[in-house]
């Protein structure tokens, strides 16, 4: 989100780079007729360097971006693609513009990482003016903090017109009668909270929630066999001792609750 | 030379097939936060927790709506939103192919209706949140066992609650309060 800026903030008055009218056609021609490697020049405008590490991970043999002819060069004068990483900081705006001017037309500008797209985690720092698009016109945004090498390759494929974009802006409007379901309404609320908390304490929020959910579904499913038997059967199939331990703990809480130990 | 060749053949091809074949990522990979608007109660816990303010809440009292907005371009994929969400409406998925050519495509909005306060009639909280909290409290037996009073209490805006409290205090009278 870009919140509207007050007229007196420094970045509100930044002049935008002007592009020739023919620019879109020139870029199209570059993408269509490029018969050689696409040369990439990186500009770090002020991120944490995580993005640079992922870019280099993307050109290692494991991901090998060079097999698509994507090559990192040392000078913007050789570049077809300018890769801006990091938030647009006060100090790096002029160098970023110089790199932009130095690259021959037509050029493709890629904004890399959360910082490049919008300022990311640094968006509200005193020295940050936002994303790359606050200084130069951007063609492709690659979100991520940092984007993984695979996301990097995907982003370049989108920039070079090889792959289509997947993400689309969506809007959900609340329908009439839409209601958020309460999970496991048959299990007493207090017991559910205790079980979930304990699972999350032992396994963290994600696995904890998943494990608690599994345990509660076991309690919740109507079956002929008693719950202890079902849990025992589930644990027999479970090869992870850590999960078995958490399940055992949840089960002891449950037994205590059933015998009236918990209120 | 022979040794090197042998090593090369032993290693085989290390390069992944992506993008020609799908890339396998770990099941707990932190990719795009997937928002399930049906489960969302617009409580804004995620907006408060989100470190880079990728999630924002826009309340429009005139239209009686509250919009939940995320910018994937701002998101740092930390999972704080998933951690705090009370209903499990948001979860980080394994989706990582997020590159776009226009910044607008990085946003997702969900617009929810605001419920009017039962006392003054002004919209004050998302209708889904009020319904969810009422249902949860009812499942837990209600406040002092009175489900109808619980429902009214949840559906009253903070301003009215304050006013009611003040009225009650006035009716009791200060002298009476001191002796209690
Ligand atoms: S997007 Fe994240 S990893 Fe990349 S420079 Fe910014 S903070 Fe660092
Ligand atoms: S993953 Fe982190 S940065 Fe992204 S929306 Fe959730 S809380 Fe915000
Ligand atoms: S925390 Fe969950 S329920 Fe609350 S607004 Fe965020 S996604 Fe919706």
Same domain for A101 and A59, yes or no, is yes
The answer to whether residue B95 sits within a structural domain is: yes
Same domain for A80 and A151, yes or no, is yes
Q: Which of A120, A151, A157 sits opposite B74 (nearest CB)?
A: A120
The answer to whether residue B74 sits within a structural domain is: yes
Q: Give the total number of structural domains in chain A.
A: 2
Q: What distance in Å separates the CA atoms of residue A186 and residue A196, rounded to the nearest whole number?
A: 15
Same domain for A127 and A215, yes or no, is no
Helix (H) or strand (E) holding A140: strand A140-142
* Residue A180: closest C-alpha in chain B: B39
What's the burial of A182, exposed, middle or buried (CB within 10 Å: 0-12/13-18/19+)? middle
pLDDT at position A223: 76
**Rounded to the nearest whole angstrom, what is the distance from the C-alpha of residue B82 to the centroid of ligand 3?**
9
> Of A144, A114, A146, whose CA–CA distance to A131 is shortest?
A114
The CATH number assigned to the domain holding B38 equals 3.30.70.20
The answer to whether residue B20 sits within a structural domain is: no
The answer to whether residue B157 sits within a structural domain is: yes
**What ranges make up the beta strands (E) of chain B?**
33-35, 55-60, 65-71, 90-92, 107-116, 123-126
The answer to whether residue A207 sits within a structural domain is: yes
Per the listing, tokens 């998943």 go with A210
* pLDDT (tens digit per residue) in A209-233: 999 999 999 888 877 788 888 888 8
Domain stop point among A138, A159, A180: A159
Q: Give the total number of structural domains in chain B.
A: 1
Q: B146 is in which domain, residue-wise?
A: 27-179
Residues of A in contact with B104 (CB under 8 A): 169
Residues of B in contact with A154 (CB under 8 A): 19, 96-97, 99
Does the pLDDT at position A260 exceed 70?
Answer: yes
Q: A65 is in which domain, residue-wise?
A: 10-159
Same domain for A193 and A247, yes or no, is yes
Q: Region A107-131: what's the mean pLDDT? A: 92
CA–CA–CA angle B55, B61, B63 (5° rounding): 95
* Residue A2: closest C-alpha in chain B: B71
Ligand 3 site, CB within 6 A: B 40-46, 68, 84-85, 87, 89-90
Q: Which of A131, A143, A178 sits opposite B72 (nearest CB)?
A: A143
The answer to whether residue A177 sits within a structural domain is: no
Higher pLDDT, B113 or A34: B113
Which pair of tokens denotes residue B77? 């994929």
pLDDT at position B29: 92
What's the burial of A183, exposed, middle or buried (CB within 10 Å: 0-12/13-18/19+)? middle
The CATH number assigned to the domain holding A152 equals 3.40.50.12280
pLDDT at position A122: 93
pLDDT at position B131: 94
Question: CB distance A142–B106 less than 8 Å?
Answer: no
- Whose C-alpha lies nearest to ligand 2, atom 7? B50
Question: CB distance A182–B56 less than 8 Å?
Answer: no
Shortest-distance atom of ligand 2 to CA B82: 6
The answer to whether residue B124 sits within a structural domain is: yes
Q: Which of A141, A178, A205 sits opposite B100 (nearest CB)?
A: A141
Same domain for A70 and A16, yes or no, is yes
The answer to whether residue B136 sits within a structural domain is: yes
What's the burial of B36, exposed, middle or buried (CB within 10 Å: 0-12/13-18/19+)? middle
* pLDDT (tens digit per residue) in A78-109: 999 999 999 999 999 999 999 999 998 888 99
CA distance, residue A211 to nearest chain B CA (Å): 14
* pLDDT (tens digit per residue) in B2-40: 888 888 888 888 888 888 888 888 888 999 999 999 999
Same domain for A115 and A205, yes or no, is no
pLDDT at position A128: 92
CB atoms within 10 A of CB B101: 14
Which pair of tokens denotes residue B163? 């006013």
């Amino acid at each position: 989100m870009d919140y509207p800026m007050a007229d007196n903030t420094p970045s509100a008055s930044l002049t935008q780079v002007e592009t020739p009218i023919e620019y879109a056609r020139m870029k199209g021609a570059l993408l269509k007729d490029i018969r050689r490697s696409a040369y990439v020049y990186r500009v770090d405008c002020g991120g944490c360097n995580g993005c640079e590490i992922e870019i280099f991970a993307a050109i290692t043999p494991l991901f090998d971006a060079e097999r698509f002819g994507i090559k990192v060069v040392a000078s913007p004068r050789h570049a077809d693609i300018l890769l801006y990483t990091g938030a647009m900081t006060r100090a790096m705006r002029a160098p970023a513009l110089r790199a932009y001017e130095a690259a021959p037309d037509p050029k493709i500008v890629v904004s890399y990482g959360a910082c490049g797209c919008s300022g990311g985690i640094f968006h509200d720092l005193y020295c940050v003016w936002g994303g790359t698009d606050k200084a130069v016109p951007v063609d492709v945004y690659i979100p991520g903090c940092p984007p993984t090498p695979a996301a990097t390759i995907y982003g370049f494929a989108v920039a070079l017109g090889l792959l289509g974009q997947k993400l689309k802006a969506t809007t959900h409007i609340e329908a009439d009668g839409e209601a958020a379901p309460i999970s496991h309404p048959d299990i007493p609320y207090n017991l559910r909270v205790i079980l979930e908390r304990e699972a999350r304490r032992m396994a963290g929020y994600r696995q904890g929630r998943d494990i608690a959910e599994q345990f509660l579904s076991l309690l919740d499913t109507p079956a002929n066999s008693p719950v202890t038997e079902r849990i025992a059967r589930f644990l027999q199939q479970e090869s992870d001792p850590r999960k078995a331990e958490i399940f055992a703990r949840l089960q002891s809480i449950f037994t205590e609750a059933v015998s009236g130990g918990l209120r | 030379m022979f040794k090197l060749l042998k090593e090369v053949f032993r290693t085989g091809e290390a390069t992944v097939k992506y993008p020609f074949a799908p890339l396998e990522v770990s099941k707990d990979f932190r990719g795009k936060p997937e928002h399930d608007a049906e489960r969302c109660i617009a409580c804004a816990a995620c907006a408060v927790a989100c470190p880079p303010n990728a999630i924002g809440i826009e309340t429009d009292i005139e239209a009686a709506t509250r919009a939940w907005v995320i910018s994937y371009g701002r998101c740092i994929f930390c999972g704080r939103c998933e951690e705090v969400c009370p209903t499990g409406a948001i979860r980080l998925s394994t989706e990582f192919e997020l590159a776009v050519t226009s910044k607008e495509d990085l946003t997702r909005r969900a617009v929810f209706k605001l419920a009017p306060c039962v006392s003054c009639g002004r919209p004050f909280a998302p209708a889904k949140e009020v319904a969810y909290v009422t249902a949860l409290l009812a499942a837990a037996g209600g406040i002092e066992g009175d489900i109808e009073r619980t429902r009214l209490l949840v559906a009253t805006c903070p301003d009215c609650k304050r006013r009611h409290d003040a009225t009650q205090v006035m009716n009791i009278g200060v002298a009476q309060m001191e002796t209690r």
